Structure 1
């Protein structure tokens, strides 16, 4: 529909020029509208382009007729549109390399383009003067990529280089926007750079930029691109010329140079031929704190010490003017600390083949320590004396015959001798050497003098101020001239008192270890890990177990011989721990003695990764402690039973008397008597816990196996605790409909204890929380308080019998440390686990997990 309308505007009326006449005209005839869209093409035009009418009508002229596209034609079209006067142009088609003669005539709403090919007509006045006509061939040798574009960026002409590199045909590019070509569209960043450059150039600005293009897979090129506008006689932008120079190798070289510059340990900088500083490596930025922009030009001068700036500027200007080497010493400001350090600044000009300076390459090398050393040397008359006074040792210099010629201040301060004391007597220094060491020193020193070899001896030197002796290692090296003759001896005395003490302590420690091994207190064995065979044992172990050294030497004793079968899991666990940690935590077990008796022992060990691996273990006779524990448990059990009966009687009598007093209206006496019931109940609970502990130790704690509704049990426990502590709030979260096969009273004892403890150890907080959750295999109950908390290193110990955390806040809280021990044993008996998560001052969370066991 749109094409029909355009044809009506562009093609003359049928009365003037019938379409049949247009078809018979010689040459290719096109009609295009003002938008440069083809609205008509005769048969010759179709034949010239090798397309049908349907494939060309409605397409942009520059894209549909790319065989005709050239800068000359484009310029002629623009001129005809502008002047509205007929024109003609001759040129060689960039596509077909044939001569084309084109007549252009304005029509209503467009242009008529009449093309004749195959003949070189007489040259008429061209739209562009002959001497100024653009030729791609003229630029092809200067640039790697050259093209002519419309002000909108449509490709009119392009040289072969980018087409070959991208492996595309010319017709795939001519008439299309350059920004849509493969090499520019691959990178959105580069594409946007080009698009912006074309827009600026179409407004009359010459634009230069660097960009990365991607001609094909695996190939990238870095270009230095220039887009230049060309104007016609009326100063309108006729077309754009884009030229690109391949600077890939230069960029790669620059990157390598930059990487090298950043790797150089010095501060590195470069300048332009005129001396303008333009590049600084990262070390410069890190040291000075300046950015590149701040340091460029003469900005770097701000990092120089004010006293050095004039000298450095003068030396630099002289080097730039003469092209000679720049070298000067300056103090540079450290951007982080504000300190100044001395640097040696050097710069060399880099020249091309003609000798022209391309760049200056400069380095600044830290010479601050050197400058400091030079300053010290200037202030000292002799470099050796400066060194001697700064080292921590006592330093001395002797002549070839051994006569002391110099001693540093440390030597004089320690010995109390002056240099004059030892300059006249070769052996005068023996006066402050310990009498027991003097002969050894004299003999070693004389031997060194005679043989010209190094002197080395450990000796005790007397402190001239307090008369004490300290161990020193004294060394002296002969210093020779070029002829090999000794010119002097350079000696040092280094304090090794701490080292000698350490050696003595090590010797004593080794003696203690040997005494321990040889003692009759601790049994020690050496066990080969493979086979767990005992290969050595001390007398204490043999005496304890009754085995002989012959049995050890014959390698017939192993863990299988001396450990009872029921103790095997303990030993297997210890082996696993040894392999993982290199040592095992001491554990209690029993050894089978030679006579078949059982010996309670405490065992521990460490592993030595020799070949084969060996374990050294200690064995401590534990029978006395075990017997004592048994007596203690027996006493606790007996005491608990003996106390329970009279306490029960006292409790009943107290309650009976209180009730009688209340009936007699003696309320004051009844109230006083009721106060006795609290301590009685506390004693009753303690005795009950003592009985439970004794039963647990004896393995006689009784359990009843029944179905327990956990929700109901916890409600009862919570209600009881709330009745006893009405000022506290127990928050229950979650509900689980589970039934456990367990001892109801014992589980009640567990949660009563945990809730009571949560309240007891939260004196300043009135809320305790209890959370319930369940899975397919277990139910979890968490009791959380916001009280005192427990140190993390004591989390495991609180479940031990009679253990209580010792601190000032807990001393006032009653308890014997039995509750958590009983709780842990009850939970363990039910196949569950109990853990604690706590921190001091942040409260505690006790988590009990019980398996959902089913009745068989």
Structure 2
């Protein structure tokens, strides 16, 4: 009896060509469909990730003919660094968990050259819900990556050029502050304090821009160590609660496993989540941090009871320089870099980051790190 498998290709371009593909018996329906798509690599995988289908777009983009790649594991297309971080496995796990596994990363052609690509994996199931394999779509983003690199190079250069004079301004401001303290010039001290606050804001902006530049160029240091996540969460919560008397930070749950990473990096992610939760819930009095774990990962989530994020804008909150429209109308400060940096840190450690939000009721930001 023939099986029919509905393949929900969710990429906008391919969706225009076919809302769903029926794979009947000897995959004739699939073959006819994918052979007409040349601008995308379209790959069929079995349940373990081995290639069982390969279209002309995949041959053009990756260099392998179908007979050369069928039977090989799709991790062959990933860089050595991503294979070591188990990114192929994590992508399929994400697809099974959420319905779609998406990423942007370097892929490797047959001739060993690398290119920047977006990838999307979708699980294929029969009518009974049994997993039959995965459909993977790959798009070459090299041109966009080159344009982004030019922009990043400019940002890096500008940030370095700004850093030196700002350091001098800060030093002179501190000298002036001590002088005004000695002569007890209270009005001048008040003005100088405001100036120092603005200097600190500029320092934070330059630091974030330099972090973005390092992440984009691959220069960020991600050598790992094992540490206790619970201690880091509780310590960070205490520190921020001391500086934000308007909110109580409640920590719930616990984990029993240590995680691998640089403690300061994970602390930076957590601090970003907590400061955002406080900033964007000015009318609330409480922020909840939850710790949980399963056999594969540990998860930290931060829930606030503030303005929330419009449904149609949730997918973009981890993009560089993006700020949701309802935040802009409230005139709240920010540059749209903190969540982007957080997402890149978590991804570099093989973890996942996500947001759940209802506009007007609040948001829950969470990240998961694999148990090694």
- TM-score, normalised relative to structure 1: 0.31
Partner of 1:680: 199
How far has the Cα of 1:812 moved from its partner? 1.4
- Residue correspondence of structure 1 range 829-840 to structure 2 within 5 A: 829=348, 832-840=351-359
Which residue of 734, 750, 759 corresponds with 2:278? 759
Shift of 1:680: 1.3
Alignment-derived partner of residue 248 in structure 2: 730
1:373 counterpart residue number: none
Contact 1:525 1:537 (8 Å CA) reproduced: yes
Match of 1:523 among 36, 39, 61: 39
Report the alpha carbon displacement of residue 815 of structure 1 after superposing the two structures with TM. Answer: 1.8
Whether contact under 8 Å (1:564, 1:592) holds in the other structure is no
- Whether 2:322 is the aligned partner of 1:806: answer no
Partner SS for 1:814? coil
- Equivalent residue for 1:816? 335
Deviations 1:26-67 (A, max 9, x none): xxxxxxxxxxxxxxxxxxxxxxxxxxxxxxxxxxxxxxxxxx
Query: Post-superposition shift, 1:713?
Result: 4.3
| Match in the other structure for 1:693 | 212
Alpha-carbon distance between aligned partners in 2 of 1:719 and 1:688, rounded to the nearest angstrom: 24
Shift of 1:664: 1.4
> Of 655, 660, 665, which residue of structure 1 is paired with 2:179?
660
Aligned twin of 2:162: 643
**Change over 3 Å in CA distance of 1:739–1:657 after alignment to 2:** farther
Cα distance in 2 for residues equivalent to 1:618 and 1:775:
30
Q: Deviations over 1:605-652 (max 9, x none)?
A: 999xxxxxxx99987553221211222222233333332232222222
Deviation, 1:756, is 0.7
| d(CA) in 2 for partners of 1:731, 1:837 | 19
Does structure 1 conserve the Cα–Cα contact (< 8 Å) formed by 2:45 and 2:135?
Answer: no
How far apart, in 2, do the equivalents of 1:744 and 1:766 lie? 28
Residues 75 and 88 in structure 2, CA contact (< 8 A), matched pair in contact too: no
Cα 1:775–1:674 change in 2 (3 A) is same
Counterpart in 2 of 1:631? 150
Structure-1 residue corresponding to 2:22: none
Query: Over the residues paired in the alignment, what is the CA RMSD in angstroms?
Result: 5.1
Q: 1:845 aligns with which of 345, 364, 372?
A: 364
Distance in structure 2 (CA, Å) of the matches to 1:606 and 1:847: 23
The answer for the alignment partner of 1:744 in structure 2 is 263
Which consecutive residues of structure 1, in runs of 5 or more, have no partner in the other structure?
1-508, 510-516, 608-614
Other structure's SS at 1:845 match: strand
Deviation of the 1:523 alpha carbon? 3.0
Distance 1:525 1:642, change over 3 A: closer
TM-aligned CA distance change 1:623 to 1:723, over 3 Å: same
Cα pair 1:586 1:602 within 8 Å, conserved? yes
- 1:185 maps to none
3-state SS, counterpart of residue 836 of structure 1: strand
Of structures 1 and 2, the one scoring higher in RCO (CA 8 A, sep 6+) is 2
Among candidates 550, 553, 565, match of residue 76 of structure 2: 565
The SS at the match of 2:317 is: helix
Q: Secondary structure at the match of 1:799?
A: coil
Shift of 1:797: 3.3
Q: How far apart, in 2, do the equivalents of 1:695 and 1:747 lie?
A: 17
Q: Decide which of 749, 758, 769 is 2:288's aligned counterpart.
A: 769
